[in-house]
Amino acid sequence: MKKENKSTNDMQDAFPVIRIGYDMRLLDSNLTALPLLSEWKVRKGSKIPDNVLNANPEITQSLQDTNPSGCKVAFRGLNIWFDMVPFPEAGYIGLYGYHVETMVPEVVQQKLRMAG
């Protein structure tokens, strides 16, 4: 039986990758990011809407910092965790998805805390 090897590109395509310019315009993304970008109503070259930036203030805050940081983005009952890496010399912020989890309703979280 032949063992299947995953290439680095396969792993990168498993999670969303988004590049946002310092002018808050979408520069590029991979295919995995398209459903999220569709929900945000943003296409390549268009500005990230204020409602998205208000819901995810870490994106705007990353403009003031040259250190990598992170954020969690809510999407259709999921939380997508991103590493945000600023590239000031290139003029963009890279958002690199690395973890997806199902949102647990607050009531369920409270019950789990009480039981634990």
What residues does each domain of the chain span?
8-115
Q: How far is CA 1 from CA 4, 10, 89, 114, in A?
A: 9, 21, 48, 48
Amino acid letter, residue 31: L
Structure pTM? 0.78
Q: What is the pLDDT of residue 37?
A: 97
Pair 93, 86: CB distance under 8 Å: yes
CATH no. of 8-115: 3.30.450
Give, for all 116 residues of the chain, the pLDDT tens digit.
Answer: 444 444 444 555 689 999 999 999 999 999 999 999 999 999 999 999 999 999 999 999 988 888 999 999 999 989 999 999 999 999 999 999 999 988 876 655 566 667 66
CB atoms within 10 A of CB 41: 11
Q: What is the pLDDT of residue 8?
A: 47
